[in-house]
């Protein structure tokens, strides 16, 4: 892929039909270049997606599986019996 610096080097001896060549070069330019605003939007989207994922994992941690729940109840009962 030929980007801007390559085109500028070619400009030294310009022919008469410069306009047409400029159009061709525009088409050659890489299309995956993002403007500053698009980058910022993408960054915000990534942050939001990350936050959503974080909250999902936290919710999973909060909801215990039944076997874990039973174990916790057992431990609490033992502690109460020791206190009494």
For residues 26 and 40, state if they share a domain: no
Same domain, 44 and 26: no
Q: Is pTM beyond 0.75 here?
A: no
Give me 80's structure tokens. Answer: 């109460």
Range of the domain at 1: 1-33
Is the same domain home to 2 and 24?
yes
Higher pLDDT, 34 or 3: 34
Cα separation of 34 and 42, whole Å? 10
- 10 Å CB burial of residue 25 (0-12, 13-18, 19+) is middle
pLDDT digits (tens, 9 = 90+) for 19-65: 676 677 666 665 566 777 777 888 888 888 888 887 777 777 766 66
The total domain count for the chain is 2
The C-alpha atoms of residue 37 and residue 62 are separated, in whole angstroms, by 38
Given a cut of 80, whether residue 74 has pLDDT beyond it is yes
């Amino acid at each position: 892929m030929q980007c801007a610096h390559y085109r500028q080097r070619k400009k030294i001896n310009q022919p008469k039909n410069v306009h047409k060549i400029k159009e061709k070069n525009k088409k050659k330019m890489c299309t995956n270049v993002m403007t500053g605003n698009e980058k910022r939007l993408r960054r915000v989207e990534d942050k939001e997606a990350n936050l959503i994922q974080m909250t999902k994992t936290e919710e999973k941690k909060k909801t215990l599986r039944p076997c874990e729940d039973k174990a916790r109840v057992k431990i609490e009962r033992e502690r109460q019996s020791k206190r009494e």
